[in-house]
A and B are shown apart, each in its own frame.
Chain A
Amino acid sequence: MDKISKDDVRYVAKLAELEFSDKDIEKFTSQLSRILDHIANISSADTEGVPPTSHILDIKNVFREDVVKESISQESALENAPDRESDGFKVPKID
């Protein structure tokens, strides 16, 4: 598989909503390259006709009755908010 470049790392950082200094981009590029190099060896495994695992146990959908129950109150849900206004979470302007 292709070697990862500094621009790839910048692009992935953007997807992951992370930010790095130029120095960190350099370090991450070399570390991620080594890790990706190593994990790319799975391409050698023969998986012809093998289905991907979706769950380790043979369980199907789990259903329950749709009954209204008590849940965490609005006030509790807001207790850990870094910023709030009346009954809602407050965030900076959406750009």
Chain B
Amino acid sequence: MEINYLTAHKLKDRLKKKEISSTEITESVYSRIEAVEEKLNSYIRLEKKSALKKAAEVDKYIGSGGEISDFTGIPLAVKDNICTKGVITTCASKILENYIPVYNATVIEKLEKQDYVLVGKANMDEFAMGSSNENSHFGPVKNPWDTSRVPGGSSGGPAACVAAGEAICSIGSDTGGSIRQPASLCGVVGFKPTYGMVSRYGLVAFASSLDQIGPFTRDVEDCAALLNVICGHDKNDSTSISGEVPDYKKYLEQDIKNLKVGVPRELMVEGIDREVKEAVEAALKMVEEMGGSVEETSLPSLEHALSVYYIIAPSEASSNLSRFDGVRYGYRNMEQKTLRKMYRRSRAEGFGNEVKRRIMIGTYCLSAGYYDAYYEKAQRVRTLIINDFKKAFKKYDVLISPTSPTTAFKIGERTEDPLTMYLSDICTIPVNLAGLPAVSIPAGLSGGGLPIGVQIIGNIMREDNVLRTARRLEEAIGFVGRPEL
């Protein structure tokens, strides 16, 4: 297999045996990028020069007997809403087109300690708002399996580049499904950890009570290894969970005999593709064959999850994005003679339509006279949703559902109809509202050759159950598909 398609753990073995160098790995990734990037647009910015320099340093270090960690010398892509010191971080927005962070996000600091190689900053929906990666100021990302289709969003770039061999792994963020849904549509593994497991310091905030950073990988083993690196308490993020981080890799060996699986009726939604449903049912059968039990269940308040999300997320966004005022950083319209006009012109010209739409929804929901009916009501219903999950996890170890009700849709198909686009997040959104860990793993290909994802949801801080289920299912499914480009 080509070097750029190997997993990080296989590459680590070869680096250890000195069968390969980080420079060779990095070069193979860039030669793939040169071959396919024009078709995909996975990246907003490539850092080839500094990446090759870093790889050479790593090779020297390894040559002199230096210790090799799981991601030493491994080329990773980073979603462009995660601050990289000295490297432009745009959030795929015109308003941050020239923004150069003066500090690193905590996850970047952690990766740098491992001596990873930064390939580039991956494309995304502007400010992580979208489910198709069509809302980028730098153009849409295409799905590597069919370039007339979307890769999902908002982490379309991080998903597409891993699926296409343009990076070994990547880091994204998930507010309502932005890791899991694109992972599903691109046929890779995407994990959203428990809220607070990964520091959000340096992640440009969209909806602070929902945002979480997580990995994209080509197998569950790399996923666990990357979780080991990025998880952990951070004093710079007061919502981060304190305490020791377990070694997630140890859960990969555990079996799923006697695993109790619930299948929420509300997530086997109406309008789900027949092939998606069949793939999930096939996965459930495999769980049973491995000694687990499967039962249909109901979480009735999930009926309201989408509405709750589309009140809370835009409300938090409207507040978070008020910082973009053309004063301290970001785009400013220089023509205006008074402050207020400068604010308005800069924001009107700097933000794209979907971002404005969400700021408007959020501002409306928080405005005098509507706060109780929308925002506060939504937070009450959120409590009901959390309670439903709590009840379900008294009975089940994990919940299994489709990740996305459909496979990748056509570019342009849903852009004029924001509500239909919002509905595509129906299976992933409840997980963020309750802060739960969940993964999407590839469950096969549709007849049309498009990847299907299955979602495994765990209780708060029960990444262990999610990972062992994912690993056993990954073995049983045996997905080896690779896009032809």
Contact = CB atoms under 8 A, between A and B. Distances in A.
A12 B363 contact: yes
Interface in A46-93: 47, 50-57, 59, 62, 64, 72, 76-77, 79-83, 89, 91-93
B388 to A, nearest CB: 12
Interface stretch (B174-182, B339-347, B441-449): B339-347
B344 A17 contact: yes
B338 A4 contact: no
B245 to A, nearest CB: 16
Contact of A92 (B337, B361, B374, B378): B337
Interface stretch (B151-159, B273-281, B304-312): B304-312
B377 A47 contact: yes
B351 to A, nearest CB: 8
A70 B307 CA distance: 43
16 contacts: A12-B360, A18-B359, A38-B307, A45-B381, A45-B384, A51-B380, A56-B435, A57-B196, A76-B102, A77-B102, A79-B100, A79-B102, A80-B102, A82-B330, A83-B334, A95-B339
Nearest to A37: B419
> In the complex, which of the residues A41, A57, A83, A94 has the most CB atoms of chain B within 10 Å of its own CB atom?
A57
Interface of A: 1, 4, 8-9, 12-13, 15-20, 28, 31-32, 34-36, 38-43, 45, 47, 50-57, 59, 62, 64, 72, 76-77, 79-83, 89, 91-95
A42 B322 CA distance: 27
Given A18-B356, A32-B357, A39-B307, 17 more contacts: A18-B359, A20-B348, A32-B364, A35-B357, A35-B422, A39-B310, A45-B377, A47-B380, A56-B435, A57-B195, A57-B460, A72-B103, A80-B100, A91-B339, A92-B339, A93-B339, A95-B338
A76 B449 CA distance: 50
Interface of B: 98-100, 102-103, 195-196, 209, 235, 238-239, 241, 301, 304, 306-308, 310-311, 318, 322, 325-332, 334, 336-345, 347-348, 351, 356-357, 359-361, 363-364, 367, 373-374, 376-384, 386, 418-419, 422, 433-435, 460
Nearest to B338: A95
A68 B429 CA distance: 40
A54 to B, nearest CB: 8
Contacts of A92: 336-339, 341-342
Contacts of A89: 327-328
Contacts of A18: 344, 347-348, 351, 356, 359-360
B356 A45 contact: no
B382 A39 contact: no
Contacts of B361: 32, 35-36
A16 B460 contact: no
A17 B373 contact: no
Given A38-B307, A55-B239, A82-B330, A45 B301 contact: yes
Contacts of B195: 56-57
A19 B349 CA distance: 9
Given A19-B344, A39-B307, A91-B327, A52 B376 contact: yes
Contacts of A72: 102-103
3 tightest Cβ-Cβ pairs between the two chains A and B: A52-B379, A56-B435, A80-B329
Nearest to A17: B343
Contacts of B342: 91-92
A35 B310 contact: yes
A94 B307 contact: no
Contact of A42 (B209, B235, B304): B304
Given A35-B310, A42-B377, A47-B380, A17 B325 contact: yes
Contacts of B304: 41-42, 45
